Chain A
């Protein structure tokens, strides 16, 4: 009789442990490396994701209630600001950098083009407080949310009570952003042997591995490093890149290597959006670079590509488009919370 209870008890714990271990499995593709984000400090739950999604799409985060995160991070362009070299925030004020595409954020060690932000939870504070973006303040946002009818039940569902704090707002936003995982492009299905490249794409992959993979390393298509890729400094923007954060001259003109996933839709390109087309990007790499003591040594000489190789490389880059990600309704504007836009 006693042994039966031990057996059931044991089975319960085994099953419970699987639930715990698999809590984040659906967010973490097997083929990706270990994530940087510490999920233990912000355990994932459907209700927190829901709350984060509402906050992401809500212009209540801006001082005049006109600009939401989604204003500059639109799903259909891989959560960047399509067609805008520099984004505009409240009152059409212009910022000084191109909005980065948001995906696979759990694998980033730092955030913003210059790595100014050291943890995903704290990233939202930057656009929230920037006078050219949302012009707000997290304390005031919390006060606005407390007065809103929509958020009390969302916080209650997410956290067990309707207390609204800066910590909870930021952690909920993190949870939604952590769900933005892109790993279902044609490239991925080829790697999983579910599909095959065309001949052009296959050749393009070889060109990519020869010339680009060192920084845009698969499967994330970024090594998350800060690199000076030889762009001339824009004389108006005067952007020194990571130097601004570290005050270390060796970091001058270095910017984070962005992911190439969904590159087809995340134009314009580079930290200030100076290139509208992929051809311009490839031209940049096949041309001499702006001389600088911090120029990456691997880019000292222009990339040598035949005209066929250019076509092939572009064909390969288009295999990084993940339509499942771009059209996944789980990441879209939450009509069920806010009503139809």
Chain B
């Protein structure tokens, strides 16, 4: 009886460590820029040639549902995949996704924002905790991306802009899917260039988006398209 138990324990331990050894950590780094310049938040930040008033004082957004694909088929979807990136604390922002076994992928996908199902699931913790300042209080729903600052073309005297992009219910579904072809098993280098969002504000004469609506969806699409691979 004792011998059988010890054999079982040995096999269990071997299998356990074999599983751990097979696990793969995939690193992602997102660099935030304004055009070709590294984004620096606040007054002391970068100076745009065309707009000396321009500053970005806050940039926070959710990345969720990170998954990896091979030839169009999902081979790994990270469970409980929610991350709040706050550019005030990191630039580039790096994180790791752990797959329980080694995977050969050719595409990475994630959602910029929080999906509808999660939006109706009640109070949650970690990066989804409402204390993170990314949840609308007067009306349910996560703010997928928050960007605030100043820009000279803003018709307000203070020049302040506030983009709070969200919306999980039809017809204003703001969360966007983002995809990259990427095979190399080194760190995935991404760039999020906010210049497009700033230009969108000025060209749309829209410097405040504070609720789910058509503009929030439009700007969310622009934000999603502002991610690109940082291949040197």
Contact = CB atoms under 8 A, between A and B. Distances in A.
A130 B120 contact: no
A233 interface: no
Contacts of B94: none
Q: Which residue of B123, B131, B139, B213 has the most chain A CB atoms within 10 A of its CB atom?
A: B123
Contacts, number: 72
Contacts of A246: 169
Q: Which residue of B122, B129, B133, B172 has the most chain A CB atoms within 10 A of its CB atom?
A: B122
A166 B123 CA distance: 8
A171 B123 contact: yes
B80 to A, nearest CB: 13
Interface in A196-253: 245-247
B123 A116 contact: no
Nearest to B128: A167
A125 B121 contact: no
Contacts of A125: 130, 135, 137
Given A138-B130, A139-B133, A247-B213, A170 B138 contact: no
A175 to B, nearest CB: 11
A38 B122 CA distance: 9
B1 to A, nearest CB: 14
Contacts of B128: 167
A167 B130 contact: yes
A299 interface: no
Interface residues on chain B, size class? 20 to 34
A166 B128 CA distance: 10
B53 interface: no
Nearest to B140: A118
A171 B122 CA distance: 8
B120 A119 contact: yes
B122 A120 contact: yes
Contacts of A337: none
B134 to A, nearest CB: 11
B110 to A, nearest CB: 23
Contacts of B123: 42, 119, 121-122, 166-167, 170-171, 174
A301 B132 CA distance: 50
B143 to A, nearest CB: 13
B125 A167 contact: yes
Contact of B140 (A119, A138, A166): A119
B135 A142 contact: no
A113 to B, nearest CB: 12
Interface in B5-51: none
Nearest to B172: A247
5 pairs of A and B residues whose beta carbons are closest in the complex: A129-B137, A121-B122, A121-B123, A166-B131, A167-B125
